[in-house]
Structure 1
Amino acid sequence: MLRQILKSFFRQYFYFLGITELFRLIFFLVYFDKCIQSKFSEILSSFIYSFWLDNSATAYLLVFPFFVYLLYSLFPVKAIWNINKYYSFLVAIILIIMELSNIAIYGEWGIKLNYKALSYLSEPLEAFRSARAATLIIAGFSLLLFSFTAIIFAEKMQLFAFKKSKRNLLSSFLWLAFMPPLIFGSMRGSLQQIPISQSQSYHSKSDFINQASVNTMWNLMYSIKENRRYINQNPFTFYTLAKAKKEVENLYNIQSDSTVYILSKKNPNIVLIFLESWSGDFIDDLGSNLHITPGFSKLAKDGYLFTNHFASGMLSHQGISAVLSSFPSIPLTSITKQPEKYHKLPSLTQELKSKNYFTSFLFGGQLNYGNIKAYIYFNGFDRITEGKDFASNIPEGSLGHHDEFMLAKLTADINTYKQPFFASAFTLSSHSPFDQPVSNYTSKGGKYKKMLNSIYYSDSCIYDFIQKAKKMPWYKNTLFVFVADHSHPSPYEFPYYSKDVRKIPLLFYGDVIKKEYRGKTNNKIMSQTDIAATLLAQLHLPYDKFRWGKNIMNIHAPEFAYYGYDNGFGLINPKGNFAYLMGENQVIEYNFANKNDSIQLLKTGKSFVETLYQEYLDY
């Protein structure tokens, strides 16, 4: 009997392990363009370096079978044996779903499947609407194909075939005595003092190779465990909290207020437009050579452009909360998904409402994704309009009403507002699946072609919106603010943690800008979190509630931009920048001319994220 159990047990082990290794190979094939940029020896070695983490993940999957086999050794009936068989099929399907999801998520975010990605399944309809039809078809077909193949393979190879046996208490004893140490030792990685971690699979200077080497299931489970652990514990504890706070206070310390006022009116109307996924890589005025935003360039010639403006986070809800509440993006989690915390944040909307501004927020789709809707409601906008509120005869795309129709409605709505007003809007056409209702502008861009064409379409809509707004009576008294919610991968293919991928547009535009400042640029390093303070300062209003922001128009304001990403953070100032990877406790991007500058900025960055995360926990 013991031989039969061991044979089936190890078949089950290699069955699960084989699925993992197969999808690692598929991952490399899907991202073959990145493979050809890597050493072939490192691609091969990823299958070696990944073994211990794969082995650990597989061991976790074998805990349940261990007890089933123990029960079978005591009661050798087919019904108990088949429990393991169907468990194996279920696990195989779950592994396939995770691996397919990992492949898709890496293409979108450049990271592995983790708890944050999993959390978006709380809005499955929104995730479904965001996906392209072709993507859904391919995903569904792939799931069915691989699941069917996995089950048929197991059946054909008789991996879990039942063979009648007699009860054998010695087999039960030996199984119980020797298998638990093997299983739990594998789960831990070995009997070494330090348990296994993702570091076991890291072996290359290529982030792509290292991520491919990390086991998807293990990474997901670890991500969930770590975030459960940090619900009340600060994972970024580098110094004493008092020391970290002091460093941050020094960072924001400004000796005097010498604000440059560029507006001709103290209480102008404000139209704030969030540009979905507009990376600085797409803007010629910010160094791009893609030539897909001619409308924006025309506006910049008569506006006031911030050329060193960086996104705080990677996702829409992080960018929107950074702008409206001046709260920086934190690694590991998002504050907008937790009402009990974001209710402690300041609100630009509320500050303007207190000065008799009428406020509104307009989006052509549904605001459920990332809990944005609840956060927008927290801000207290007087009017909130979603796609479902549009007239039924207005054309829709997969995500909602495209930018030309949304902006037309924005103009029509503003015509009914009393002045002064604060009208916010959020574009959507430059979000996957990029189904804008026009023919393609460019055939260039490779895998980014659809994205580039969507940006060109959105740009044309923005420019057309401004031309029509100029004919409206409220235009002369209105400041237009265009800012991206976050960046997006581009043909430049900067790493997801790089400062280069974080640069996004910020443009002030309108007749309320003094003539001597039109067509000018501001080259100071700043973040989305600085926008609220900067705007309020231009209106001669207090902004002390927005503690994580600074008035960038104060000539004494410090130049820096912090950004957070899924498993780390970065900091930029005029002397250099760095990006820090939390799990590996290492700096993964480093640009400094002077060593002393690097030591100080690293200290500042660590203090910043420690203080920020503690404040988040205390909310």
Structure 2
Amino acid sequence: MQKRLLFPLATFCATTLVMALQKPVFLLYYASEAARYGFGDWCRVVWHGLSLDMTVAGYVTALPLLLTLLSLWVTLSDRTWRRIFGLYFWVVALVAGAVFAVDLALYEHWGFRLDGTALMYLDAPKEVLANVDWWMGIRQTLFFAACTALLVWLYRLLVRRLFLPAGRIPLRGVWSLVLLLLGGFDFLAIRGGVGASVANVSKVAFSPEMFLNQAAVNPLFSFLSTLGDDGSYADAYPFFPEEERAARFEELRGNRRAEGAPAAAGYASASAPASAEDAAPTGAPTGAPTGAPAASSGSVPADAADAVLRTQRPNVVVVLLESFGRTVMDATCEGEPVMPNMQRLKCEGVWFENFFANSFRTDRGEVAVLSGFPAQTLLSVMKLPAKAATLPSIARSLGEEGYATSFTYGGDLNFTNQASYLYATGWQELVWQRDLHFDAPASHWGYDDAVMCDYFARRVIELDAGGHPFLAGLLTLSSHIPFDVPYARFDDKVLNAMAFSDECVGRMVERLKASPAWENLLLVLVADHGYPYPEGIAYNIPLRHRIPMLWLGGAVARPRTVEDYGSQMDFAATLLGSMGLSHEAFDYSKDLFDTVNQPRRFAYYTFNEGFGVVDASGEAVWDCAADRAVSVTSPELLDVGRTLLQTTYVDIDRR
């Protein structure tokens, strides 16, 4: 009986071993590229890939585990049980062999591991076969046969050696509990552990070298986890015929350049400040919609004549503030401001008064800020690794200018495929919870903002002392559900957590101010999304998505308030334009300081099955599921939103 109980465990271990062996096979198959890396890198590929290998092994073991438990209570001949297992393992072997063989052949053409999009081409078998030369067909067929034969032999060996006739089974209740306990461990393997993030391809990402990250991915997991994606994103929102959609988007695109206009502008050298004749202010917009009041008196338009930055190449720090909605930032509790530091600091730098999040989720807001790409309604491009890798990014743009790039988070960057996305889009170094060891307890999401803001300030100062230009990112986490923080200022749990994060960020800013790093620093504070405060605020109105963005640091020319409307996806072009760098790769991102091309200023956001657009003329909110307007004070904005939503999905489909 003991051997029968070992059968599921042996199945799990054998499957994990086979999955792990696939890694060196992949590296040998692509030996010309793998030769650039040492033996240690090969070992790290296998080691980091084990998490997804065990997830696949967990799935494979689930049915044998259940059948073994069933065999304790259901009387069938051992021959019958072995036939059942034989059929099951043949299916597993055939699927695994086919995926391994096809994945090896396609990687050199696709540049990513096999996923569910491969099934899209099965409806045109002649066209597929036309792209397969005879040697590739023979080679991959032989590989498929060898993989299948190996797996069938291995699983049959386990069945013969361990699933022995049990005869009369004493203590079947005890043995059943043991199997249920094994089932719990199997579930953890399938889930990917006990952490906040579940199994995803980001779990195996460990290097800025994308080939090594791709080598660590389990192709079976990559394929099976994307089977539900039909890939027909372009048809999700067919508002306009394709020709009309493309023409409408041309009028909205952020990188549209006026004839004869320079590619980028916006910084002032110390020796040659910008002249007043270089640009002419157009005046502040009026008629702000609900939730987006006009700027306070004394503000300066975004297109003021003087440049935004004092230097062409500042060190750049981007801090993504978890859930920092403007409704929270502007709130008071018991007569006290909830975020006194943000209120104080906004007078010291470039403050964007009418700025909005593109989404209500961190993964989508993060992509909007760092890649200038619009958020989606029912999907997240970050969770489509092959497509996310093709997005532009400020990290890649600044990396090409010689900047070192690093991103820090006190929690788990595997969550929602963040690590995979960040590495793929040019972030050279990721520092997160697994790399950090503080004498402080971690919260539900990771190390709290007090610990991380202190650490990050030290890190920025150290990077500055290195004398090399850098881009450093930080994502805060304490102002997130469940809002458990080591702080007791307000009785309201949400506001108390927000106040805690504000205090931590304020201390970090003051520490940077007091350091030599401040002189050449551009520090950007921007929320990842808003928050539904006060309670009961509608999820789809502009007020829910209004967020702060503030530029601080010695690199900022002078304090000002920007009144023009914009959203997270405009940050990339605005930053690069201010540094005199091209933002041609960012189709959707508008430079809010561009006085030559004058792209239309508006803020666009999405929610579950809908979008909102807001500018100085009013707002338009559309519910796609109900096919009706939620709120419209400026009807022309409806077509702006329709164009952007349809274009986003067409774009994703083509990537």
> What band does the TM-score fall into relative to the shorter chain?
0.5 to 0.7
**SS in structure 2 at match of 1:415:** helix
Change (3 A) 1:123 1:435: farther
Tell me which residue corresponds to 2:349.
303
AA matched with 2:338: I
Distance 1:122 1:312, change over 3 A: farther
2:616 pairs with 554, 557, 574, which one? 574
2:480 is matched by which residue type in structure 1?
Answer: H
2:503 alignment partner, SS class: helix
- The TM-score, its normalising length taken from structure 1, stands at 0.60
Q: Please give the alpha-carbon distance, in whole angstroms, between the structure 1 residues aligned to 2:408 and 2:453.
A: 9
Q: Which residue of 2 aligns with 1:615?
A: 651
Question: Structure 1: 5+ residue runs without aligned partners?
Answer: 1-78, 80-120, 130-223, 444-448
Change (3 A) 1:122 1:311: farther
Shift of 1:436: 1.1
1:491 Cα deviation after fit: 1.6
Structure 1 match to 2:148: none
1:534 to 574, 579, 582: 574
Alignment partner, residue 632 of structure 2:
591
User: Which deviations, in whole Å up to 9, do the C-alpha atoms of 1:545-586 show, x marking residues without a partner?
Assistant: 011100001142311111111211121222221221122211
Residue in structure 1 matched with residue 107 of structure 2 by the alignment: none
Q: How far apart are residue 393 of structure 1 and its match? A: 2.0
Partner of 2:480: 431
2:365 corresponds to 1:323: no
Retained in 1: the 8 A contact 2:318–2:473?
A: yes
SS at match of 1:474: helix
**After superposition, what is the alpha-carbon deviation per residue over 1:299-320, rounded to whole angstroms, capped at 9, x for unaligned?**
1111111011110111111011
The 8 Å contact of residues 372 and 570 in structure 2, kept in 1 or not, is answered as yes
Does structure 1 retain, via aligned residues, the 8 Å contact 2:398–2:471? yes
Call closer, same or farther: CA 1:123–1:348 in 2, change over 3 Å: farther
SS in 1 for 2:235: coil
Aligned pairs (5 A) from 1:185-264: 228=229, 231-252=232-253, 253=256, 255=258, 261-264=307-310
Task: For residue 358 of structure 2, give the secondary structure of its aligned residue in structure 1.
Answer: coil
Counterpart code for 1:559: R
Match of 2:508 in 1: 465
Correspondence list, 1:155-166, <5 A: none
2:564 pairs with 1:524: yes
**SS of equivalent to 1:305:** strand
Report SS of the residue matched to 1:362. Answer: strand
Taking the aligned partners of 1:499 and 1:391, their CA distance within structure 2 comes to: 40
Per-residue Cα deviation, 1:481-524 (whole angstroms, up to 9, x for no partner): 00000111112532111111000110001122113xx1x21111
How big is the shift at 1:229? Answer: 5.4
Secondary structure in structure 1 of the residue aligned to 2:345: helix
Q: Does 1:505 align with 2:551?
A: no
- Structure 1 residue 394: Cα displacement: 3.3
- Name the residue aligned to 1:273: 319
Matched, 1:561 2:561: no
1:436 corresponds to which letter in structure 2?
Answer: V
Letter paired with 1:336? M
Give identity over the alignment, percent.
28
Cα offset for 1:353? Answer: 1.1
Contact 2:621 2:629 in 1 (8 A): yes
Q: State the partner residue of 2:393.
A: 347
- Is 1:358 matched with 2:404? yes
Q: What is the DSSP-based 3-state SS (H/G/I as helix, E as strand, rest coil) of the residue aligned with 1:508?
A: strand
Q: Is the 8 A contact 1:244 1:607 kept in 2?
A: yes
Alpha-carbon distance in structure 2 between the residues aligned to 1:313 and 1:230: 22
- Partners of 2:356 and 2:546 within 8 A in 1: yes
What secondary structure does 1:251 align onto?
coil
1:282 aligned counterpart, secondary structure: helix
Q: Which runs of 4+ in 1 moved over 3 A?
A: 121-129, 224-233, 252-260
User: What are the Cα deviations for residues 57-115 of structure 1, in whole angstroms up to 9, with x where unaligned?
Assistant: xxxxxxxxxxxxxxxxxxxxxx9xxxxxxxxxxxxxxxxxxxxxxxxxxxxxxxxxxxx
Give the unaligned 5+ runs of structure 2: 1-74, 76-189, 199-224, 263-278, 280-302
Q: Flag the 1:392–1:284 CA change in 2: closer, same or farther, 3 A.
A: closer
1:544 corresponds in structure 2 to 584
Q: CA deviation at 1:429?
A: 0.5
Taking the aligned partners of 2:403 and 2:639, their CA distance within structure 1 comes to 41
Which of residues 332, 337, 340 is equivalent to 1:291? 337
CA deviation after TM superposition for structure 1 residue 395, in Å: 3.3
Worse overlay, 315-324 or 256-265:
256-265
> Residues 292 and 512 from structure 1, CA distance in 2 versus in 1: closer, same or farther, beyond 3 angstroms?
same
Contact 2:621-2:632 within 8 A present in 1 as well: no
Shift of 1:366: 0.8
1:383 Cα offset (Å): 2.0
1:422 and 2:458 are equivalent in the alignment: no
- Please report the RMSD computed on the Cα atoms of aligned residues, expressed in angstroms: 2.7
How far apart, CA to CA, are the structure 1 residues paired with 2:599 and 2:392? 21
Counterpart-to-counterpart distance in 1, 2:230 and 2:514: 56
Structure 1 residue corresponding to 2:520, chosen from 452, 473, 477: 477
Q: 1:230 to 1:533 in 2, by over 3 A?
A: same
For residues 227 and 504 of structure 1, the distance between their equivalents in structure 2, rounded to whole angstroms, comes to: 34
Following TM superposition, by how much is the alpha carbon of 1:414 offset from its aligned partner in structure 2, in angstroms? 2.2
Alpha carbons of structure 1 residues 454 and 539: separation in structure 2 relative to 1, 3 Å: same
In structure 2, give the amino acid aligned to 1:234: D
Q: 1:123 to 1:524 in 2, by over 3 A?
A: farther
Maintained 8 Å contact 1:320/1:485: yes
Whole-Å Cα distance in 2 between the matches of residues 334 and 125 of structure 1? 23
Q: Which has the higher helix share?
A: 1
The residue number in structure 2 matching 1:193 is none
d(CA) in 1 for partners of 2:611, 2:348: 35
- Aligned residue runs from structure 1 range 105-144, under 5 A: 125-127=194-196
Conservation of the 8 A alpha-carbon contact between 1:526 and 1:560: yes
Q: How many residues align?
A: 391
So what's the TM-score if we normalise by structure 2?
A: 0.56
Q: How many angstroms does 1:230 deviate by?
A: 6.1
Q: Distance in 2 between matches of 1:243 and 1:233?
A: 14
- Structure 2 match to 1:441: 489
